[in-house]
Amino acid sequence: MVSRIFSYKYELILVVLTSILLFSGLNKIEVNIMEARNFTTAREMVQNKEYLLTTLNGEPRYQKPPLPTWLTALSGSLLGFDSLFALRLPVVLITFLLVFTLYFLSKRMGLTPVNSFNNSLILITSFYIFFAGRDNQWDMYTHSFMLVSIFFLWKLLRENKNQTTNSLLSGLFLGFSILSKGPVSLYALFLPFIISYIVVYKIPFKEKWKYLLLMLISGLAIGLSWFVYVRLNDPEYFRIIATREAANWKNYEVKPFYYYWNFFIQSGLWTIPALIALIYPYLKTRVANIKEYKFSLIWTVSSVILLSLIPEKKVRYLVPTLIPMALTTGFYINYLINNFGRSTTKRENIVVYISFGIIALIGIAYPFAMLFVLKELVVDYLFIYITSSILLLVCTYIIATGLVQKEFGKILYTSIAVFTIAVVSILPISTKLFTNPNYATTTKVQELEKRKGIKTYSLSDIAPEIVWNFGKQIPRLNSEQYPSENSFGLLLDASDSSKLRTFFPNYTTKKLYRINMHYRKSKKTRLIKDYYLIEKDD
């Protein structure tokens, strides 16, 4: 029994480490605008019992397909919409799917279990993968499902058994990916995979074309089903939103072509190894699996190039690139495990000293940095502070001895421990840092509504974070629409107070509260609203 469990040691370690990284302080992170949209839409699905014509604050929300929101709605229904842990649980599980799919894909590519294990470790400890894996928006879903589709496509292309099954499963997850964020991952992850596969392995179209066609047809049928339904049932709003989204790709967040060329920085801990792994002339004579290395490298670079062609650019759009990047970096890491200190040159050793020496320095600097940041708050977190400081100093010592003794395995896994300890210790404290003394949620407004039996409206758009915090829809008024009630609440931008006389000439208005949902001090006003009690004159 023990030997059988031990045979799954890599899988068990991946489960434990991924759990620590993704579950630690999961309910401590503030809800951002993307999450608020997803959470609110999921809540309104359940409240309105409408799961296809999705809404946000009562208005059509067709910008994103609904699969991630369906999963969030399911988790919220089972575990409660008041639990951030419950609402973020789906994205954590989807990230587990990504980590383990890469592990099994690596093994299918002919890499050893330990190499495959290292690839998945690199993936989950890459900064933006870790970040996206705890942030319940659409990106992680679409790319995780697409990687599963690619896994079954790999089996379809490389094996001659279960071809129909592999074709249908690849199509199923391709459809799930499209139902998560449209064609984004089809373009940024799947197409680069196809390009790389054609260059390195050649696709056997003659033998596999029927199965490839089945995969594409089934995937597109599943993926486009929701879009077709909305187009038929709400064509006007669908057209408006589709036009707006298409315009954003060309006119919103426009960045130069080279904006993504520092993409390897987004891997955080692996920045320098990732950069070295991209140098094909250097690494091609040093890797054991040259064909697989070339494949992962072209997959990575193709993804960056295709993303660079799109005018709209955001850092989080690099998530699909980091997936093959983990594979590519793994080849360099494997080379160091087998050769560091034995056949590496002085120059190669210096690169290792710099890249992993920085991590050791982080362990030394951590106690002083946290003391500086926490100041008097350190008393409240004394146990976490002392424990994490000791552990990181121990890790620093192990990394230093590993560098001296040329034991790269020790250096590698201790560096991952540094990342894990820092994350686990900092996350519970983060909500107490850089706080806004004027922070005020909608709690008082909700209490007033219950006490007076009134309803709240708005005169302008309400930030999704405020709608989410409020717990229900906040109807928007216009100059031709007045509430039938004699008394009601109104949320208003501070700069729009002059509109009160224009809109409500026969009402008494009284400002009661200011909602300020900026967690940290900010000059922005998007999350600030004034609350007025509006009462009709006798």
The whole-angstrom separation of Cα 269 and Cα 284 is 23
The whole-angstrom separation of Cα 323 and Cα 319 is 7
The whole-angstrom separation of Cα 323 and Cα 128 is 11
Torsion of CA 107, 111, 116, 118, to 10 degrees: 180
Domain ranges of the chain: 2-190+197-251, 346-430, 443-536
Distances (CA, A) of 10 to 17, 202, 418, 465, 498: 11, 32, 19, 40, 64
Long-range contacts of 224-232 (CB under 8 A, 24+ apart): 224/178, 225/175, 225/179, 226/52, 226/65, 226/66, 226/179, 227/65, 227/182, 229/52, 230/52, 230/53, 230/62
pLDDT by residue for the chain (538 residues), tens digit each? 445 555 688 999 999 999 999 998 888 888 999 999 999 999 999 999 999 999 999 899 999 999 999 999 999 999 999 999 999 999 999 999 999 999 999 999 999 999 999 999 999 999 899 999 999 999 999 999 999 999 999 999 999 899 999 999 999 999 999 999 999 999 999 999 999 999 999 888 888 999 999 999 999 999 999 999 999 999 998 888 888 877 766 666 778 887 888 888 888 889 999 999 999 999 999 998 999 999 999 999 999 999 999 888 888 889 999 999 999 999 999 999 999 988 888 999 999 999 999 999 999 999 898 888 888 878 888 888 899 999 999 999 999 999 999 999 999 999 999 999 988 888 877 766 667 888 889 999 999 888 888 999 998 889 999 999 999 999 988 766 778 888 889 999 888 877 787 788 888 888 999 999 988 888 888 899 999 998 887 6
The whole-angstrom separation of Cα 533 and Cα 377 is 39
What DSSP letter does each residue of 120-134 carry, written as one string? HHHHHTSHHHHHHTT
Q: Are the beta carbons of 462 and 529 closer than 8 angstroms? A: yes
The whole-angstrom separation of Cα 184 and Cα 177 is 9
Q: What's the one-letter identity of residue 392?
A: L
Backbone angles phi, psi at 60, to 5 degrees: -55, 135
For tokens 């002083």, the residue is: 368
For tokens 């250097």, the residue is: 282
CA 270 to chain CA centroid, Å, is 18
